[in-house]
């Protein structure tokens, strides 16, 4: 059963999160989020279908191609889209800053941005924000992370679900942002999902791609497509279930719960 729950991305074992104020949003609200698992996780992602994709999308696709990751860093207030080579440099620099603060490799970091298009990231503010967020990572930090990624949303979106696989309890949670500009595919949307399920990267990607196609890509609010849309899932395996490596009953159960989670989040975004 899907619960609207502030535990969000820290509901699963081994995940911490934080959201801080870095001064990127004009409102002065929370605007930098970090999600982290010390145990390296399998990673899957789906991204905008817009021909014009933002720099963080290109950089995050590279991380997904490595099949594992430790962290997600996202900012709101500046989309780092239509920013040319400087935007790419800034997206790579964002990874490097987070990696140094966390003591991991740069290609173990997913980056995401949302907000004003055509403006370069204020890197001094973002760097300070990332370091602040890393210093404040906690198992109760998901709600701040959820609030740090919203822009025009009226409220943050955070949900959890737990299910049993062969006697092992598995936890999954998510935070998301998005409202307006959502037609026909995933527009102006960030969604970050974490789970302690043990599953192969290939099946994690297959499950996510199928679920996104039937949930987020179905919602429609107006006529634009965003440059920054991202749905990412990290699975760190700490639940201790027998690792899912084939499309068996355990895989189908995971897909059912992932689909339910994505569908409820999509409804929240479209509401």
Residue 168 known to be catalytic: no
Backbone torsions φ then ψ of 266, nearest 5 degrees:
-60, -40
Pairing of strands 190-195, 230-235: parallel
DSSP 8-state assignment for residue 110: E
Catalytic residue selected from 114, 188, 195, 227: 188
CA 262, chain centre distance (Å):
12
Phi-psi region of 8 (alpha: psi -120 to 50; beta: other; left: phi over 0): left
The Cα–Cα gap between 145 and 186 comes to: 20
Backbone torsions φ then ψ of 202, nearest 5 degrees:
-60, -45
The residues that are catalytic are: 188
């Amino acid at each position: 059963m899907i619960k609207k729950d502030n535990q969000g991305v820290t509901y699963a074992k081994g995940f911490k999160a934080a959201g801080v104020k870095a001064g990127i949003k004009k409102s002065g609200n929370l605007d930098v989020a970090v999600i982290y698992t010390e145990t390296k996780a399998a990673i899957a992602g789906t991204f905008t279908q817009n021909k014009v994709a933002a720099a963080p999308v290109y950089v995050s696709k590279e991380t997904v191609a490595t099949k594992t990751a430790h962290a997600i860093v996202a900012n709101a207030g500046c989309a780092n889209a239509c920013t040319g080579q400087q935007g790419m440099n800034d997206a790579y620099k964002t990874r490097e800053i987070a990696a140094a603060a966390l003591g991991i490799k740069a290609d173990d970091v997913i980056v995401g941005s949302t907000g004003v298009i055509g403006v370069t990231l204020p890197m001094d503010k973002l760097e300070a924000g990332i370091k602040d967020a890393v210093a404040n990572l906690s198992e109760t930090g998901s709600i701040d992370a959820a609030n740090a990624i919203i822009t025009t949303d009226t409220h943050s979106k955070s949900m959890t679900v737990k299910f049993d696989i062969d006697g092992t309890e598995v936890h999954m949670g998510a935070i998301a942002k998005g409202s307006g500009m959502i037609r026909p595919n995933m527009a102006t949307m960030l969604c970050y999902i974490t789970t302690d399920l043990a599953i192969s990267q290939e099946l994690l990607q297959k499950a996510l791609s199928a679920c996104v196609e039937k949930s987020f890509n179905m919602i429609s609010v107006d006529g634009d497509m965003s440059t920054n849309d991202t749905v990412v899932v990290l699975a760190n395996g700490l639940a201790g279930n027998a690792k899912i490596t084939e499309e068996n009953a355990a895989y189908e159960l995971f897909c059912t719960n992932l689909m339910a989670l994505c569908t409820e989040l999509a409804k929240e975004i479209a509401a």
